[in-house]
Amino acid sequence: MSEPNIKREGFSSGLAVFFATLGSAVGLGNIWKFPYLTGANGGGAFLLIYFICIVCVGVPVMVSEFYIGRRTRKNAVGSFKVLTGKPGTPWKGIGLMGVAAAYLIMFFYSDVAGWVYFYCFKAFTGQLAGITKDAVGPLFGQVIGAGTAGQPLSAATLSPLVWQVIVMTVVGTILSMGVRGGIERITKTLMPLLFLLIIICDIRALTLPGAGKGIDFLFHVDFSKITAPVILSALGLAFFKLSLGMGTMITYGSYFTDDNHMIQTAGKVAASDTLVSMLAGLAIFPTVFSFGMEPSAGPGLLFMTIPLVFNQMPFGGILLACFFLLTCFAATTAMLSLVEVPIAYFVEELKVSRVKATVFNCVLIALVGITATLSVDSSSYLGQYKFFGKGFFDLYDYLSSNIILPLGGLCIALFVGYCNKREDIADELSNHGTLANASTVDAYRFIIRFVSPALLILVFLNSVGILKF
């Protein structure tokens, strides 16, 4: 079944596989989305459910995507053709849906990444030095505010658009360098640095006066807060966090080395990613409580807390700049994996050169992404346009995270669980019999056939409003 393709690029070593995959998982999801969703959904209770989702659904779906990718050494669409042996197989719809999800996520993700780049610039130029609690909120409003409808455009209101274009230029440049020279080189250097900086940030946050309340908020499980919407939003976050349900891990799996222990890689990536989210939470919540802010402040939480933590320490200015720089890197490595999904599809299925595919996709994302940037709040230029009650930014987020990713994850679980032979799965996951992991493979197969689909059907029915708890 496996089709070794000598000309096809891939990662060079197990370490490169680990860092590239972790580079996809770790991103704005950990530092921006995880803290604000945890804050909005009651802290510890949300966290507990999130852990369960990662173990019961996240890791098994990730292994399934790795299996599909490495077994076929193809992109998210072509892999289904190879595995079913039918070019017209309806299962390739999963891959096409993944390509669509990659665009939708990138439209808003590149906007938030632009805010991070902008904060990084402000930090490096000393504009965040000595910022006070009262100034952080208005500053955030100014950074995201892409003009007010009816008022003339100014340089300040155009800045989020300019930063979004800068983001896409950086992503496109790295991607055009290829899998090894671009993705692998960048992720291997930056991931360890990110860990280090978050830990420094944690040490300061945890020694602020009143930090204990933040720790308590994050770890105290109040079972009364575990409601159906909390469970379902934790499941959706697990998908977004681990870059699952849209073929990213199929595409990356197709670049894996032959001797990679894929079950272990999935476990290690999920554990490290969750650790980064926890470390981000441990930096943010003690600060929130120490400064008497609201944990449920929403998407601005990161931008309003982190500058305050660093203000409280020696060399805070430079450390803050480094923190935002590394957040830029985390966002960038996650975006590399997102855009790699359509690029691999264009190159292999539509026979377009890698450079042309990269330019086309990055320009498309930057252009359509403008709609997200200009709709962030309802007073923005495009803020008044609503679809099902949501502006462009929220619509892209909702459609991708709440609909396409859970649906994609469900289809992937069902496809691997029911349409692939046990021997093929065991052969691939044991590296053609060189690993003695038969019992793990059987446990994995049981979960993918029964446990993950059951949970995913619940989340999907709820997302589309068919089932309300």
Two tokens, residue 62:
């990730």
Residue nearest to ligand PFF (CB): 29
240 binds ligand PFF (CB under 6 A): yes
Site string for ligand PFF, 60-99 (x = CB under 6 A): ----------------------------------------
382 binds ligand PFF (CB under 6 A): no
Q: Are 243 and 54 in contact (CB under 8 A)?
A: no
**CA pair distance 30, 119, nearest whole angstrom:** 17
Q: Using the rule CB under 6 A, which residue among 92, 241, 261, 445 binds ligand PFF?
A: 241
* Residue-by-residue DSSP string for 323-346: HHHHHHHHHHHHHHHHHHHHHHHH
25 binds ligand PFF (CB under 6 A): yes
**CA pair distance 164, 393, nearest whole angstrom:** 14
> Min. distance of Cβ 185 from ligand PFF in angstroms?
19
24 binds ligand PFF (CB under 6 A): yes
Q: Using the rule CB under 6 A, which residue among 19, 20, 23, 27 binds ligand PFF?
A: 27
> Min. distance of Cβ 232 from ligand PFF in angstroms?
18
Q: Which is nearer to ligand PFF, 241 or 445 (CB)?
A: 241
Q: Which is nearer to ligand PFF, 30 or 361 (CB)?
A: 30
Q: Using the rule CB under 6 A, which residue among 37, 82, 105, 231 binds ligand PFF?
A: 105
DSSP assigned state of 284: H
Site string for ligand PFF, 305-334 (x = CB under 6 A): -----------------------------x
CA 363 to chain centre: 21
> Min. distance of Cβ 208 from ligand PFF in angstroms?
26
> If 0-12 CB within 10 Å is exposed, 13-18 middle and 19+ buried, where does residue 89 land?
middle
Q: Which is nearer to ligand PFF, 34 or 289 (CB)?
A: 34
**CA pair distance 147, 154, nearest whole angstrom:** 8
> Tokens 């993705």 label which residue?
183
CA distances (Å), origin 228, targets 70, 169, 233, 297, 346 = 36, 41, 9, 22, 40
Q: Which is nearer to ligand PFF, 28 or 328 (CB)?
A: 28
Which residues are CB-neighbours of 416 under 8 A, at least 6 positions away? Answer: 64, 67, 68, 425, 448
Stretch near ligand PFF under the rule CB under 6 A, chosen from 26-34, 220-228, 263-271, 444-452: 26-34
> Min. distance of Cβ 223 from ligand PFF in angstroms?
27
> Min. distance of Cβ 241 from ligand PFF in angstroms?
5
> Min. distance of Cβ 15 from ligand PFF in angstroms?
20
Binding footprint of ligand PFF, residue count (CB under 6 A): 15
Q: Which is nearer to ligand PFF, 311 or 337 (CB)?
A: 337
Q: Which residues of 91-117 are buried (b: 16+ CB within 10 A; e: fewer)?
A: bbebbebbbbbbbbbbbbbbbbbbbbb
Nearest C-alpha neighbor of 41 from the set 298, 420, 293: 298
* Residue-by-residue DSSP string for 343-392: HHHHHHHS---HHHHHHHHHHHHHHHHHHHHTTSSTTSTTTT--BTTB-H
- Bridge partners, 438 (sequence order): none
Two tokens, residue 141:
């409003």
> Min. distance of Cβ 142 from ligand PFF in angstroms?
24
Q: Tell which positions 407-466 bind ligand PFF, by CB under 6 A.
A: none
> Min. distance of Cβ 250 from ligand PFF in angstroms?
10
191 binds ligand PFF (CB under 6 A): no
Angle between helices 262-290 and 438-446 (to 10 degrees): 60
Q: Which is nearer to ligand PFF, 112 or 448 (CB)?
A: 112
Q: Which is nearer to ligand PFF, 283 or 334 (CB)?
A: 334
Instruction: Round the CA-based radius of gyration of the chain to a whole number and report it.
Output: 21
> Min. distance of Cβ 422 from ligand PFF in angstroms?
28
> If 0-12 CB within 10 Å is exposed, 13-18 middle and 19+ buried, where does residue 434 land?
exposed
29 binds ligand PFF (CB under 6 A): yes
CA 211 to chain centre: 28
Q: Using the rule CB under 6 A, which residue among 68, 320, 338, 459 binds ligand PFF?
A: 338
272 binds ligand PFF (CB under 6 A): no
Q: Which is nearer to ligand PFF, 103 or 118 (CB)?
A: 103
The footprint of ligand PFF (CB under 6 A) covers 24-25, 27-30, 105, 240-241, 243, 246, 248, 334, 337-338
